[in-house]
A and B are shown apart, each in its own frame.
Chain A
Amino acid sequence: MMESLDQIKSRIEGAVPEAKIEIVQNGSPSQQQSLLLDSEHALAIGKFLRDDPALRLDFCSNVTGVDWLDRIVKKTIKIKTAVDGVEKEVDQTTEEKIPGYLEAVYHFYSIALKHGPVIIRMRTADRAEGARLPSLTPVWRSAEFQEREIFDLYGIRFDGHPDLRRILMWDEFEDYPMRKDYVQPDDFEWEPTPHDEVLARAKQHYTLRPELDGAEALRKG
């Protein structure tokens, strides 16, 4: 049996004293919690996770990216206030704006000790162009292509990556297609049976765009 995530966290803090680690809760039925690492010490923590004799996480099975947009979290707190001399409980709603960020998620297993997964996350400061994270490729070589894929589709730049270029899209491509605010090229064509999202796009082209655009612009040359 692998140690619990709390034990792993405290042992990491013992090995890398300055590290700031958070446990990210997961409310879904799987209850798969993860460790949020800070960028500065991620590489040292990675080395620890791989080399520690009780963990030996020698297999990086998956690396993926997540795009979190700016979001507003509403919190309702009950506070006691005196209204006309009588004490009452009143709901007070506060809105907290959480700025968006990009996230890289790694899943590690140990082939040697047959346990896992340990999930770690890293978050960028913002969603701006050139958002950075440290690369874990020096620790787990198998992360190389997957970090390139995250760079390609989400635009996270990995410091310390040996060969960071686009892997799926062409080099001249400038967008990051898996970001939630990605805008596709407008190349709608006539569809015999549009539905759902396609129907919405079809409607835009049927009514709101009297000028030639998309496929019709092509037609005109």
Chain B
Amino acid sequence: MSEIDEKLRTELQRQGVWVTSMQELYNWGRKNSIWPLQFGLACCAIEMIATAASRYDIARFGGEVFRPSPRQADLMIVAGTVTKKMAPQIVRLYNQMADPKYVIAMGACAISGGPFKQGYNVLKGIDRYIPVDVYIPGCPPRPEALLHAFMELQRKIDEQKLTGANKAEHLKTDQPSEFPVPKFGEHDLEPAANCAVFQPPVIERT
């Protein structure tokens, strides 16, 4: 798309000639029909339901088709506390989704464990096992925040390249689209995080 001059394009459009590219058309279609996977984990899911209902109406952005099967979904909204017992199932669902797929971590718990971070049974953020595209802070985030995240994701999809070295991750054949499912260990999940996607913050020693 960078090949055509923006001014020339505007000028052409004024004359009734619409110039586009395969990439633009493709991304335009994709970003306006993001189908989320239908599952909720805690109170954030209530806000997600409110977002889908008539008052906030996620259908305005093409995301109203909540799919009950990961095979038909493009977007995983991790809405709520991920317990360690639930984490392998989340990763498994993510693995079962078809590429291209995106993840929104909704709320403090999905980002970092939130108020339950110091507990023995809560995962300190879903980004330990799967890559996250958009994080929404809040406890729980308001529906506007989820819509904002949704629009950010649309912007992100719109910017994805189909060719070249900077092409989208899901088009690179050497990039993984499945991630190892953690195992239930005797004291904790094994491994406690997937180092390929997650780097814990460095402890500053004083």
Contacts and interface: CB of A to CB of B under 8 A. Distances in A.
Interface of A: 168-175, 177, 182, 184-185, 187, 189-190, 197-198, 205-207, 215-216, 218-219, 221
B203 A205 contact: yes
B186 A219 contact: no
Given A169-B121, A190-B200, A190-B202, 12 more contacts: A173-B184, A174-B187, A177-B120, A185-B120, A185-B187, A187-B188, A189-B124, A189-B200, A206-B206, A215-B201, A218-B191, A219-B202
B199 to A, nearest CB: 6
A187 B121 CA distance: 12
A182 B187 CA distance: 11
A190 B184 CA distance: 25
Given A189-B201, A190-B200, A218-B195, A172 B124 contact: no
Interface in B22-40: none
A171 B193 contact: no
B200 A169 contact: no
Given A185-B120, A218-B193, A170 B201 contact: no
B205 interface: yes
Interface of B: 84-85, 118, 120-121, 124, 184-188, 191-193, 195, 199-206
Q: Is the interface of B mostly helix, strand, loop or mixed?
A: loop
A175 B184 CA distance: 13
B197 to A, nearest CB: 12
A184 B120 contact: yes
A174 B187 CA distance: 6
Contact of A219 (B118, B184, B188, B199): B199
28 contacts: A172-B184, A172-B185, A173-B184, A173-B186, A175-B186, A177-B120, A177-B121, A182-B120, A184-B120, A185-B120, A185-B187, A185-B188, A187-B188, A190-B201, A190-B203, A190-B204, A197-B118, A205-B203, A206-B204, A206-B206, A207-B205, A215-B200, A215-B201, A216-B200, A216-B202, A218-B191, A218-B193, A219-B195
